[in-house]
């Protein structure tokens, strides 16, 4: 069967459906360089715009209460705003190798900035939840020339944090304020503009120039790039922060080729076309929201609904979720496990929902929640897997094929994923057999160009016996004979809290600075609301008298990411260790998991908790054993329901 270059059957408007690994291989019969992929993210947006310029591309509402009064941009008007933004950055001195950082919530201007920055130079998204000094560290590491930030806004101290450190970034020349006034009524608009004007007057002394993004944008043409830049696929498009560490932050260099390919491949395997309407409630500083819920649908002429500056965290968004979906005729959305669990607590929507499928990423979803969500709402739930260093996604369960709960699906076309046994020097000794567990490695057009700082390259790559270089994921997994990838553990020990990746080393390094601390181990504690939260175990120095509250304050003062502040601190006489003296974290994780399970059961149903004889945990599975004589059939469903918010399997038995 012949295909055109977008992977579509002749005479159709929809991509040919991917059902299994054979369909992936069929797509690969045409070499990727014959697919005619755009050379840049801007060109990809332009191609999507050309499919139907006057069709809706982006709709945005400021609050859940006002979703019926959303603002709308067509594909043509969205593309013109992005071109205008690129021209604004160009007139302010941004060239192809200059960095534009932005610290913004989910706004239309965030998309204008992201894609406009990639057209003019290099985009660098920054998490607005970071503390001020952490933001400054990122900008100094990136060499930021221009910063786009939220203007003073009631309810957030983001501008106050930003303005306190902009003078400490030597490369920073200009700061542009994005004002929410464009999305409010006339009274609020005047007040917000006045606050922003006063803040710019205050900042008019030493340091970078502070100006209005909204005002300067209107002065730019929207029909051409003033720079005349010819973007190469191998030009750096973005610098994404990959996690908290001490010292220079890790910034992943992703090229236009990386982002265009990943957006195209994601749309191909997910069957995206112009009829798709995507709801985005995930943060735009995260690669998934930017690419899979932005560039990917727009490249196919689809539309995106941006739900409040806070996304799913916005007041009332989850409570009005189904009404919002019906109003905008949303047929696809993406979320993290905590969202799906929260939706299960809502009454079923009146009059249906129109959702064709939903995507879950960022953290493992328990099979119980997966099965219950599909059963209650009749919505196919698709899980995938990816990492920032591989642009965004690397595997996904086929929407039209067999979706296997507990598996993260099939690899993308033109990209390889393998499980490998790797020695201490980073050499692949051998690739694993079907079903055998090894470290997952990735090679393909989505693999990033490396970290901005060469020092971070250590341990990033593995080389096979043929000299081929693979990206090391740090995750343990296996691949079965049908090509389905399973994740068996996180070798990097990352803690995933509500979609935020937290590196335990960042917290451990901070606590090691305390003079009374001998050793520290930070592990994940399962949490029904956030997925996981960090807990710190501390062994004090001999003779030291430590105070837990003082240690907590000490950690908060030194850990920039608020989600990374330890939920609890535990003092222990000695750490569990291996035979070579290394702290044995699996034992600590087991302690936390067992305690979290028991506390959750006691909190929800104390009588049921009293009927439990034992709780065991072994990294991916919890085993709850009822007392002798108790009926497993009578209590199992209730136990599974109570523990549904945890991202691991639960098995119930009777003693």
Q: How sure is the predictor about 578, in pLDDT bands with cuts at 50, 70 and 90? A: low
* Residue that is written with structure tokens 């369960």 in the block: 397
Please check whether residue 408 is in contact with residue 385, taking contact to mean a CB–CB distance below 8 angstroms. Answer: yes
The confidence score (pLDDT) of residue 579 equals: 46
Which candidate, 507, 583, 587, 575, places its Cα nearest to that of 540? 575
Residue 4 pLDDT greater than 60, yes or no: no
pLDDT digits (tens, 9 = 90+) for 35-65: 999 999 999 999 999 999 999 999 999 999 9
Task: Examine the pLDDT at 180 and tell me if it is beyond 70.
Answer: yes
Kindly provide the residue ranges of all beta strands, DSSP E only, lying in 14-118, ordered along the sequence: 56-61, 71-74, 99-103
CB 648 within 8 A of CB 592: no
Task: Read off the pLDDT of residues 297-356 as tens digits, 9 standing for 90 and up.
Answer: 999 999 999 999 999 989 999 999 999 999 999 999 999 877 887 888 888 888 778 999
pLDDT at residue 9 tops 50? no
What confidence score (pLDDT) does residue 581 get? Answer: 53
Do the strands 144-150 and 99-103 form a parallel or antiparallel pair, or are they unpaired?
parallel
Question: Average of pLDDT values for 492-506?
Answer: 79
**What are the tokens at 475?**
């995750």
pLDDT band at 245 (very low <50, low <70, confident <90, very high): very low
pLDDT of residue 308: 96
Taking residues 251-268, what's their average pLDDT? 98
**Average of per-residue pLDDT values in the chain:** 90
CA distances from 445 to 258, 288, 293 (A): 6, 17, 20
Exposed e or buried b per residue across 42-74, where buried means at least 16 C-beta atoms within 10 angstroms of its C-beta:
bbbbbbbbebbeeebbbbbbbbbeebeebeebb
For residue 12, pLDDT over 80 is answered with no
Beta-strand relationship, 209-212 and 99-103 = unpaired
Beta carbons of 455 and 465 less than 8 angstroms apart:
no
What is the helix, strand, coil percentage profile of the chain, to 5?
Answer: 35, 25, 40
- Residue 492, pLDDT > 70, answer no
Distance set, CA 409 to CA 14, 358, 387 (Å)? 22, 14, 15
DSSP 3-state of 471: strand
Cβ atoms of 320 and 67 within 8 Å: the answer is yes
Q: Hey, what domains does the chain have and what are their CATH numbers?
A: 1-33 (no CATH), 76-235 (3.40.50.980), 495-583 (3.30.300.30), 588-654 (3.30.70)
Angle at the Cα of 317 from the Cα atoms of 315 and 323, rounded to 5 degrees: 140
pLDDT-derived band at 419 (thresholds 50, 70, 90) equals: very high
Whole-angstrom CA distances from 76 to 45, 47, 280 are 10, 11, 20
More confident site: 633 or 406 = 633
- Report how far residue 437's alpha carbon sits from residue 439's, in angstroms, rounded to the nearest whole number: 7
Q: Which of 142, 193, 135 is nearest to 166 (CA)?
A: 135
Residue 562: what are its φ and ψ, rounded to 5°? Answer: -55, -45
Structure token digits, residue 29: 């019969």
Q: What is the pLDDT of residues 628-653, one digit of tens each?
A: 888 888 888 899 888 888 878 889 98
C-alpha dist (Å) from residue 576 to 154, 394, 513, 621, 643: 48, 36, 21, 21, 27
Q: Are 116 and 91 in contact (CB under 8 A)?
A: no
More confident residue, 186 or 156: 156
Average pLDDT over residues 130-148: 96
């Amino acid at each position: 069967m012949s295909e055109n270059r977008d992977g579509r059957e002749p005479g159709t408007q929809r991509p040919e459906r991917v059902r299994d690994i054979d369909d992936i291989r069929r797509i690969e019969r045409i070499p990727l360089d014959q697919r005619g992929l755009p050379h840049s993210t801007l060109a990809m947006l332009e191609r999507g715009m050309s499919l139907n310029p006057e069709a809706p591309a982006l709709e945005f509402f400021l609050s859940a209460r006002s979703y019926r009064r959303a603002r709308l941009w067509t594909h043509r008007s969205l593309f013109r705003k992005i071109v205008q933004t690129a021209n604004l950055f160009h007139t302010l001195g941004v060239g192809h190798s200059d960095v534009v950082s932005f610290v913004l919530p989910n706004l239309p201007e965030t998309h204008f900035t992201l894609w406009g920055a990639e057209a003019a130079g290099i985009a660098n998204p920054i998490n607005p939840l970071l503390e001020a000094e952490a933001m400054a560290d990122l900008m100094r590491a990136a060499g930021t020339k221009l910063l786009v930030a939220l203007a003073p806004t009631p309810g957030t101290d983001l501008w106050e944090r930003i303005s306190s450190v902009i003078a400490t970034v030597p490369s920073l020349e200009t700061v542009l304020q994005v004002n929410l006034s464009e999305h409010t009524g006339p009274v609020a608009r005047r007040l917000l503009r006045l606050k922003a004007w006063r803040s710019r007057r205050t900042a008019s002394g030493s340091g970078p120039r502070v100006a209005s993004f909204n005002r300067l944008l209107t002065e730019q043409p929207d029909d051409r790039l003033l720079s005349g830049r010819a973007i190469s696929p191998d030009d750096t498009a973005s610098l994404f922060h990959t996690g908290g560490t001490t010292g220079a932050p890790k910034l992943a260099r992703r090229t236009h080729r990386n982002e265009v390919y990943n957006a195209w491949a994601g749309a191909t395997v997910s069957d995206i076309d112009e009829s798709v309407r995507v709801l985005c409630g995930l943060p735009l500083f995260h690669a998934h929201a930017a690419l899979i819920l932005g560039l990917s649908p727009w490249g196919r002429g689809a539309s995106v609904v941006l739900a409040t500056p806070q996304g799913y965290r916005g007041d009332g968004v989850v409570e009005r979720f189904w009404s919002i979906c019906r109003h905008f005729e949303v047929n696809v959305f993406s979320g993290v496990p905590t969202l799906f669990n929260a939706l299960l607590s809502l009454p079923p929507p009146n009059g249906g929902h129109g959702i064709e499928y939903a995507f879950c990423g960022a953290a493992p979803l328990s099979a119980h929640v997966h099965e219950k969500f599909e059963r209650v709402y009749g919505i196919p739930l698709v899980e995938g897997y990816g990492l920032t260093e591989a642009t965004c996604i690397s595997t996904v369960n086929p929407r039209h094929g067999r979706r296997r709960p507990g598996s993260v699906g099939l690899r993308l076309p033109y990209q390889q994923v393998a499980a490998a046994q790797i020695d201490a020097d980073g050499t692949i000794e051998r690739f694993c057999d079907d079903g055998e567990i090894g470290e997952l490695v990735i090679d393909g057009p989505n693999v990033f160009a490396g970290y901005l700082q060469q020092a971070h390259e250590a341990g990033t790559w593995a080389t096979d016996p043929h000299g081929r270089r693979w990206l090391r994921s740090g995750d343990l997994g296996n691949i079965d004979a049908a090509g389905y990838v399973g994740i068996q553990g996180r070798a990097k020990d990352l803690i995933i809290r509500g979609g935020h990746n937290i590196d335990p080393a960042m917290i451990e390094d901070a606590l090691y600075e305390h003079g009374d601390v001998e050793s520290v181990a930070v592990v994940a504690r399962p949490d029904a609301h956030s997925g996981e939260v960090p807990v710190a175990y501390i062994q004090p120095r001999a003779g030291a008298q430590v105070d837990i509250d003082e240690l907590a304050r000490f950690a908060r003062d030194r850990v920039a990411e608020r989600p990374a502040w330890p939920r609890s601190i535990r003092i222990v006489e000695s750490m569990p260790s291996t035979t070579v003296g290394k702290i044995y974290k699996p034992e600590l994780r087991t302690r936390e998991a067992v305690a979290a399970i028991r506390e959750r059961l006691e909190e929800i149903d104390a009588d049921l908790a009293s009927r439990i004889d034992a709780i065991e945990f072994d990294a991916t599975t919890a085993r709850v054993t009822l007392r002798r004589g108790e009926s497993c059939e009578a209590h199992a469903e209730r136990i599974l329901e109570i523990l549904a918010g945890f991202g691991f399997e639960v098995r119930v038995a009777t003693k």
